[in-house]
Chains A and B, each alone.
Chain A
């Protein structure tokens, strides 16, 4: 089995699906000749041709709108938004049409579109290139929001997203693209959507996170283990709909919950998780729920980037706070 980076895993998932499903079409800015600004689609146009892998103008609204048209005519478009901060021009098409197509046509037409986009910061990029907008997307009924945290999950969840009959917003943690390698079998096996992945089993506290923050959380868990604190780490993976059952079962076991996300705190997905645990798991809680998040301000430029992104130390402190109760 090959050890691949997340970007290579994403490339392979595209290639597998292009080879095995003739309705799959890849489109976006620079995805063809250039192979994508992060190389996610490198070599695909050469291999599958200009009709299957299409370069588009710099017009996100058009990319989303064209994808809806393709999908309603039987294709399975996989669109790339070059950076998550560039999604706003596409939101009208995504929110008002893509997310509603099944509802509007009473199930006669579904919208099997995947919109891929880099998520989060950590690569010293300029403004508008480091956003974490998952809460905005998750707030729209009709959109599935997925965020892998390893090469294997990027491969398996992207395949599942492309095969899903409804629109999937596929958020790729940009700083994980080349951070590590992992053995990933290029066998076309999808992973399940709408479930969490437990990355570490523990008994003292449940930490729920997703995307690139899983790396800081796993490091924090290792550090805490040295002091005898046993953390259960849950990767949300599908941000909408949330697999609340897994979280509630874990909280019932540990009695403590810390939620970690890079996005700003205010109205973040962490608030939704905390509210659901308060509604359905309150009697299991032995301590108040803690959130470790980005701050309620614009993601700073690169010099302060890592002051914004939750650090291992902040996560460790939050866990210790809940254990002190």
Chain B
């Protein structure tokens, strides 16, 4: 029989209160196994067993106050090795093997290392390499850019490691990113990137994912996501609706070319809608030439090639250009320069269906015209009713820099030109 007395738990405290027992009479315990939690004036401390053996008696129950040095636990020890307290083996307890009721020798190998709480202890070896001071390898490809520039590049899909910084010390500026992204439009930049990166062979059936599985946007569709998000975040879209009465038209008029011509005429009359707008700097540039981007629907997504100088070129020239661009768009052979620097946009969705829409302006352009499906409408005329061929028109403008009056006058000019016989 061996008695274990409550050890000095530190700073010469005279007593401790039993919080709870972890063991009961008859339990076999091993060295270091927690036996009881006691609370001193300073902390709650776990008291581990100093012996391996069977517990024959517990002195006190939870709530009892035990004096330092008074009996706490009695053991029947196991084997000869158990007759002495086990050597210190890194258990985290203050009380652990401090000799009962006696101030520990400060240099005793079995001291717990602290007078309060419990000291985490181990014999684990720390192996480390510590290099003093600034011996840092120089950066591999160091890109220096302000957070706003990094955010812009991310939004435009521009890889900053490919951008040459023109700022102080090679700092990449907003302009550098914009130049890399393409001189005009975010949409162009994203589209060009998409065209380069996804040469999907035409005609090859895309591998359809099993129904319900998410399909990551790529290529043109991803470019559309980027340019539309940009437009949503920045443009104040406002749309006007009206119809052009084409009753005066003869046979064989070319709708697309008439639309382009009407846009050219309207832009000449109201230059405010043929412009680039830099919202960040609140600066507007009226454009000399009317370059119209035409939305072309392709299986891979939306593509927007540009027809140049629609106000001054002949119908035949425009038609040839439109054919070339449409072919290029469908074959995915359209050149990047045919995708950038537009000053106005046209969506001819009515070729398929839909009378009116709210087309979205893509910056830095400030307006887009949507042409709806033609139909023969009943119209009231002097002296009766007639059926006239009419074209529904939807004009969206960026109300940050275009007034409602300018937009209405522009739409009126489009209608006036369209309604001419030829």
Contacts and interface: CB of A to CB of B under 8 A. Distances in A.
A250 interface: yes
- The dominant DSSP class at the B interface is loop
Contact of B113 (A39, A235, A245, A285): A39
B419 to A, nearest CB: 55
B142 A284 contact: yes
Interface string B101-119: 0000011000101111111
Nearest to A249: B136
Contact of B130 (A33, A42, A152, A302): A152
B199 interface: no
Interface in B120-139: 120-139
Interface stretch (A118-126, A291-299, A311-319): A118-126
Nearest to B171: A283
A253 B135 CA distance: 12
B135 A198 contact: yes
Contacts of A255: 143
A177 B42 CA distance: 20
A192 interface: yes
A195 to B, nearest CB: 4
A170 B126 CA distance: 21
B102 to A, nearest CB: 14
A50 B366 CA distance: 88
Given A34-B106, A37-B115, A126-B43, A181 B134 contact: no
Contacts of A150: 126, 128, 130
A199 B118 contact: no
Contacts, number: 139
B129 A199 contact: yes
B407 to A, nearest CB: 40
Nearest to B160: A286
A252 B132 contact: no
B117 A126 contact: yes
A191 B132 contact: yes
B44 interface: yes
A183 B131 CA distance: 16
A129 interface: yes
A114 interface: no
Interface stretch (B22-30, B144-152, B257-265): B144-152
A197 B131 contact: yes
B64 to A, nearest CB: 22
B116 A245 contact: no
Contacts of B116: 37, 123, 125-126, 129
Interface residues of B, number: 43
B62 to A, nearest CB: 17
B130 A198 contact: yes
Interface string A184-198: 000000011001111
A249 B107 CA distance: 45
A252 B137 CA distance: 10
A165 interface: no
B133 A123 contact: no
Contact of B117 (A3, A33, A253, A302): A302
A180 interface: yes
B136 A198 contact: yes
Which residue, of B121, B132, B136, has the highest number of chain A Cβ atoms within 10 A? B136
A3 B125 contact: yes
Contact of A246 (B119, B121, B136, B171): B136
B133 A250 contact: no
A151 interface: yes
B107 A43 contact: yes
A178 B119 contact: yes
Nearest to A285: B147
A246 B145 contact: no
Given A182-B126, A249-B134, A252-B139, 11 more contacts: A7-B113, A33-B106, A124-B45, A126-B116, A179-B120, A180-B122, A180-B125, A181-B123, A181-B124, A201-B137, A284-B144
10 contacts: A43-B106, A123-B120, A124-B44, A129-B116, A177-B114, A182-B127, A191-B132, A198-B130, A199-B130, A283-B171
Interface of A: 3, 5, 7, 33-39, 42-43, 122-126, 129, 150-153, 174-175, 177-183, 191-192, 195-199, 201, 203, 235, 243, 245-246, 249-250, 252-253, 255, 282-286, 288, 302
Interface of B: 42-45, 106-107, 111, 113-140, 142-147, 150, 171
Enumerate the 9 nearest inter-chain pairs by beta-carbon distance, A residue then B residue, closest first: A35-B106, A124-B117, A125-B117, A246-B134, A249-B136, A283-B144, A195-B133, A180-B126, A178-B121
